[in-house]
Amino acid sequence: MIGPDAAVVDLHMHTTASDGTLAPADLIRTCAGAGVALCAVTDHDTVAGLGAATEAAAAEGIRVIPGVELSAAWEGRTIHVVGLGFDPAAAALTALLAEVDGLRRRRAQEIAARLDKLGLPGSGILAHLGASDPRSVVTRTHFARELAGRGVVADPGSAFRRFLARGRPAYVRGTWPELGAVIDALRDGGGVAVLAHPLRYTLSAGQRRRLVADFAHRGGTGLEVVTGGQSREQTEAAAGLCLRAGLEGSVGSDCHDPSLPWQRPGRLAKLPPAIAPIWRRWQADPANPPESSA
């Protein structure tokens, strides 16, 4: 029998509810095929995929806990917070998601307008996205894929580099809720907050330590010590940040497209043994998972 320490865990993945390529049920089936025992679907600023994911997980015999990746503001920068184990119907979280939905819609219109000004089909892309999948949260990834699909750029990465990344002409900064408000909403809903991919933000070493300390101080519980495509040195650096701030550790592929080898669900480095796995709380009593009725 596989003990809890050997179980394959992946607590950060995306579906078509935001900017992933697979529908929630298909992602869960991919996870089951990859031997994942415990996972979380963590779409950007939406819990719309959780119902289908939970149903599929029951059919596949694997565990999925409620998840979300929330966009947050910290000192004027965008930071991502993975929320885990909350009640998806909790009032404060529902209100926060509704607010961010409005922010994202207005931002998507602004991105489209900027692309239009560049002579690119921004409005056309936005109309197409709304018509093809009206329930999906619209991210920059959607614009990037459409620009690539329409032959404007060779691939989505080029769309970011030329138009959508910070400092490029169609970049529109998100006006996200403050970090403290995001953590509070998750905790109000009975969940925990995890600072996502801590090494991916453009920060000095000192700023990064301050971000992690501030996150812990405001009630954050975990740090994503292992993320997809990370080197051993990076995992060690993230582990150092985690231990220094007294946070629990999380692991997640940040999978958007399982067909990409570096994003395969569950294909992750082990959490260093000095760090307490944040998922212990959901393994303690498998017969009675907290708030898994999503």
Helices 50-60 and 24-33 sit at what angle, rounded to 10 degrees?
A: 30
> Residue 32 or residue 112: which is nearer to ligand AMP going by CB?
112
* Nearest to ligand AMP of 157, 286 (CB atom): 157
Distance CA 53, CA 123 (A): 32
Q: Write out the two tokens for 80.
A: 């991502």
CA 272, 252, 263, 69 torsion: positive or negative?
negative
Residue 244-283 contact track with ligand AMP, rule CB under 6 A, x = bound: ------------x---------------------------
Residue type, 260: L
44 lies in the binding site for ligand AMP (CB under 6 A): yes
Nearest approach in angstroms of CB 274 to Mn ion is: 25
Burial 225-236 (b: 16+ CB within 10 A, else e): bbbbebeeebbe
Beta bridge partner(s), residue 222: 194, 248
Q: Interaction with ligand AMP in 2-21: which residues (CB under 6 A)?
A: 19
Nearest residue to ligand AMP by CB is 139
Q: How far is the CB of 289 from ligand AMP (least distance, A)?
A: 27
Stretch that binds ligand AMP, among 93-101, 152-160, 204-212, 218-226 (CB under 6 A): 152-160
The residue range among 118-126, 133-141, 190-198, 202-210 that interacts with ligand AMP, by the rule CB under 6 A, is 133-141
Residue 139 interacting with ligand AMP (CB under 6 A): yes
CB neighbours of residue 270 within 10 Å: 13
Cβ atoms 52, 25 nearer than 8 A = yes
- Check residue 19 for interaction with Mn ion (CB under 5 A): yes
Contact between 176 and ligand AMP (CB under 6 A)? Answer: no
Q: Is 61 exposed, middle or buried (0-12, 13-18, 19+ CB in 10 A)?
A: exposed
Distance in Å, CB of 263 to ligand AMP, minimum: 10
- Say which entry of ligand AMP, Mn ion, none residue 111 contacts (CB below 5 to 8 A, set by partner kind): none
- Give, in degrees to the nearest 5, the angle at Cα 186 between 26 and 203: 90
- List interacting residues with Mn ion (CB under 5 A): 19, 69, 80, 196, 254
